[in-house]
Amino acid sequence: MPEEAADAEASQKAQVSLTEANVRRALTTDKGPDTSLISWSTKAATKKGDNYISAITGAQVIYSQDGKQKEASYIVKLKQDQESDGKSQMNRMVYGSEGGFYTRLLPLLNSTLIDAGIEALRVPKCPHATWGEGDKQLFLEDLRPRGFRVHDRRKGMDERHTYLVLHELAKLHAASFLLQRDSPGEDLVARFDFLAWEWFNFSDITKKTFDSVISGGLTTASRLARKIGNEKVANWFEMLAPSGVEHLREQLRTSPPFDVVGHGDCWVNNLLFRYDSEDHPQEIMLLDFQFCRRSSLAVDLCYFLFTSLEGDVRNKHLDKFLSFYYDAFARIVRAGGARVPFSLEDVKLEFHRKQLIGLVFGALLMPALVCADDEVQELDVASSTAAKNYVEMKRQNSLSMLETNPLLEPRLVDLYRDIVKFIDQK
């Protein structure tokens, strides 16, 4: 049995699903068969606002190996029992995607990179040999003991952070390009079905939830713009709301030759950094592959740059950012012995073609980015009714934040400048 947990909420969640058998299995896979488990305990893994989909706890393990007592620390994502249909379907999708990514796809991507003389992807270790429908605890390396921490989501990322992210996205994208090159007769989606899973196609239940969250979120974005006084942006969101789901589906459709394995949810909450003594970021880790997908490389770029950067940094350095990304992608592809199938100018054009997805999610996520920890509203997808209630409550909370949170309006006004440019170009 686990020792008393330091955090009551984490302990309660852990007692639902986390078992000693699973802790022992993760330890053995991670550290080797000659380990002997001494004790384990749960601990708080994240604070409110760091996670929106999964139930997460931490596992602190004490074990013996080679006659020495040692410690290991894991982050554990828990797939809860006795869920509603809505949450059950969502969990099937996100756990299936992330478990499949770590156990089936990641080893091949890393092998492809290493064969090309490139460092493996910077992601937490995953002590699972396989992953299936019945698995309910996804163990991942706890990166905090190694000095990694999340960037303050209330602050837009600077150039240093951005270049680290873009380099790692280039590695992920290029590795998948090379992997597909090596299997020309078999589409990656045929091998890894989870790369085609989306809210809007996984099941009727997840589609209804997606429709409700997106259309409702766009209506909220319109209300926020109108309250701030930007009628042009308010009208655009209002016009987009009924058909926004279809526009986003169009953005996510295949777009050769730019199709790669994408992260799918690359924003500040899903990134960790290690800093030097002057608080400059030195290393990055990508987290949370729950929405990994096959899509245009520009989807990840737009999603990240419009959600996690302020407009002055993004617009001032956009050409440099895209050039840096392209150079990293091209270098890895060439190191793998392949020809880069597009130019830098092609990537810039594709980025602008996919800009809608960045603008929409930038607007939808902005209240969550700048809110205080005690203002975080957890995503509720238990049912279509719950999703609608979630959207309405989020709308009221977001409108109230304009009065109570001084960070929200400037960030939205900042984003509106890019939206106006996008509208005018159309």
At 341-377, the pLDDT tens digits run 999 999 999 999 999 999 999 999 999 999 988 788 7
What is the residue range of 54's domain?
Answer: 8-78
Number of domains making up the chain: 2
Is there a single domain that holds both residue 34 and residue 157?
no
User: Per-residue pLDDT for 224 more than 90?
Assistant: yes
Q: Which residues pair with 57 in a beta bridge?
A: 76
Is there a single domain that holds both residue 202 and residue 115?
yes
8-state DSSP, 79: -
d(CA 403, CA 282): 37
Segment 31-47 shows an average pLDDT of 89
Q: Which two tokens stand for residue 390?
A: 């979630």
d(CA 26, CA 11): 19
Q: What is the pLDDT of residue 4?
A: 39
User: Per-residue pLDDT for 53 more than 80?
Assistant: no
* Of 95-104, 136-145, 294-303, 387-396, the least confident: 387-396
DSSP SS3 for 292: coil
Instruction: Find out whether 172 and 109 touch, Cβ atoms under 8 Å.
Output: yes
- Which CATH number characterizes residue 63's domain? 3.10.450
Residue 86 domain flag: no
Residue 1 domain flag: no
SS3 content of the chain, % helix, strand, coil (to 5): 60, 15, 30
Q: Would you tell me the crossing angle of helices 311-335 and 159-182 to the nearest 10 degrees?
A: 30
Is there a single domain that holds both residue 111 and residue 37?
no
Residue 139 domain flag: no
Q: What is the pLDDT of residue 374?
A: 79
Q: Model confidence at 385, in pLDDT bands (50, 70, 90)?
A: confident
Is there a single domain that holds both residue 170 and residue 249?
yes
Q: What is the pLDDT of residue 373?
A: 83
* Of 10-14, 36-40, 420-424, the least confident: 10-14
Is there a single domain that holds both residue 294 and residue 402?
yes
Q: Model confidence at 15, in pLDDT bands (50, 70, 90)?
A: very low
Closest CA to 271 of 53, 50, 108: 50
- Which CATH number characterizes residue 375's domain? 3.90.1200
Residue 130 domain flag: no
d(CA 62, CA 40): 6
8-state DSSP, 133: T
Is there a single domain that holds both residue 25 and residue 112?
no
Instruction: Find out whether 261 and 292 touch, Cβ atoms under 8 Å.
Output: yes
Residue 372 domain flag: yes
Is there a single domain that holds both residue 274 and residue 336?
yes
Instruction: Find out whether 169 and 271 touch, Cβ atoms under 8 Å.
Output: no
Is there a single domain that holds both residue 46 and residue 185?
no
Q: Which two tokens stand for residue 396?
A: 């009221």
Sign of CA dihedral 305, 398, 51, 47: positive
Residue 144 domain flag: no
Is there a single domain that holds both residue 397 and residue 267?
yes
Residue 305 domain flag: yes
The alpha helices in 183-275, defined as continuous H runs, are 188-191, 199-202, 204-228, 231-240, 244-252
d(CA 392, CA 384): 12
Q: Find where tokens 């270098």 sit.
A: 331
Is there a single domain that holds both residue 62 and residue 199?
no
d(CA 136, CA 92): 10
Is there a single domain that holds both residue 258 and residue 369?
yes
Q: What is the pLDDT of residue 382?
A: 63
Model confidence, pTM: 0.93
d(CA 20, CA 16): 12
